Amino acid sequence: MSSGSSSPLGGTHPDTAADSRPGPFAETRQAVEQRIDEVLATYPRPASLYDPIRYIMGIGGKRIRPILVIISAEAVGAQQTSVLDVAVAVELLHNFTLVHDDIMDQDLVRRGQPTIHARWDEGTAILAGDALIGIAYRCLCNSASEQLPMQIRTFTEAVVEVCEGQALDKEFETSSQVDLAGYEDMIARKTGRLISMSTRIGAMAGGATPANVEILERYGACIGKAFQIQDDLLDYLSSTEILGKRVGSDMAMQKKTFVTLKALEILGGHKRARFQQLLQSGAPSEEGLLEMKDLLVQGGVLDAGQQVVDDLFGQAFRILDAAESRLETGRLRDYASWLLKRDY
C-alpha cells in the first residue's frame, strides 16, 4: 500500500506525488499500511465488494488519523502494537466518509486516481463504503483496553457527527445564509471531529486517565479545525499534481469554504463584487482561477486564513506545554509541526 504497491486488481496504484513522500513517522505509517493489508486479506470474496475496498485503501493517503491514534496512545505510555487495530479502524472510517463524499460531490478523482464510483459504479461505491464501516467496527472491537465500551461510544458518536456535518455541507451549497460561524460548526463535525476522535480514542486505547483523554481530545480539536482551513487554502495555493485533484474543485462545486466566506467578509467594493461574480460562474477557467487568487492575495484573505491556522496550531502547542508533566508530548509536538508546514 506504499507507493507503487501491488494491487489485488492487477498492476499498481501509483500514488500522487504528495502521497509518495515518506513524511514524518514513516515507520508508524508503514505499520498501519501493513496492518490494513493484513486485515483486508481476510476478506477475499465476494470480489465485487472487496476489490473496490482494496483499491481505495491502496492508492495512498497521508494516514494522519491513525498516526494520531498511535502517538496519542504512546503519549500515555502505551505501545504501538496494542492500539494498531484501533488506528486501522479509524482509517477505515475515514475512507468510508471519502467514498460516500465522492459520490455526493460527483468527484471523479481521489488521490490522483479514479474514485470507486468512477471506476465501477455508484452502487458498488455505496456498498463498499457500507462495508468499510462494518470492518472498522470489527477492528475496533479487537482492542484489549478496559475502556473498549467507551471507545465504541466515542467512535459511534463520531460517525453520527460526521454525517451531520456532511448534511450541513450539502445544505450550504444551496444556501445564501452561511457565515463563518456556521461553517466552523460544520467543519468541527466533519474533519475536526474525526481528528479529535483520533486523539481521544488513541488515549483511551492507551489506558489514559479521563483528564489526559480530555487534554488529548482538545489538542486534536485544534489540529482538526486548522487542518480543514489549510485544505481550503490549498485549493487556491497548491497544484493539481501535488493535491491529486484539480485545483479549484471546491469553487467548481460552489462550495462554501473558509476562503470564500472570509473573502465575502473582508473584501470591499469592486473586489468583492468581482470575486462573487467569478464564484457564482460555476467552474472558473484557468484565467478566472488566477484572477480569484489575485483578489484573495490583494485583499489579504489568504494571509488572514493562514493566521487562523497558525493561531489554532499555537493553541495545540500550548495545550501540550501545559501537559508536559502528565504526557510524553515530543511526538505529538513533532507531528503538529509537520502538519502546520504541509503543502498537500
| Residue 254: predicted pLDDT | 67
Give dist(CA 155, CA 270) in Å, integer: 47
| Residue 13: predicted pLDDT | 34
pTM: 0.90
| Residue 5: predicted pLDDT | 36
CA angle 207, 313, 338 (to 5 degrees): 80
| Residue 15: predicted pLDDT | 41
Residue 80 in contact with residue 334, Cβ under 8 Å? no
Mean pLDDT, 10 residues at a time, over the chain (344 residues)?
Answer: 34 42 81 98 97 95 97 98 98 98 91 94 98 98 93 98 95 90 95 98 97 98 97 79 57 79 94 90 78 92 96 98 96 96 86
- The architecture in CATH of the region 26-324 reads Orthogonal Bundle (1.10)
Give dist(CA 316, CA 320) in Å, integer: 6
60-85 burial, b at 16+ Cβ within 10 Å, e below that, comes to bbbbbbbbbbbbbbbbbebebebbbb
Residue 149 grid coordinates: 465500551
| Residue 249: predicted pLDDT | 63
Residue 227 in contact with residue 191, Cβ under 8 Å? yes
Residue 113's DSSP bridge partners are 110
Q: Decide: helix, strand or coil at residue 280.
A: coil
| Residue 21: predicted pLDDT | 57
Residue 136 in contact with residue 89, Cβ under 8 Å? yes
Residue with cell 484539480: 246
Residue with cell 453520527: 160
Give dist(CA 269, CA 133) in Å, integer: 48
Count of C-beta atoms within a 10 Å radius of residue 215: 25
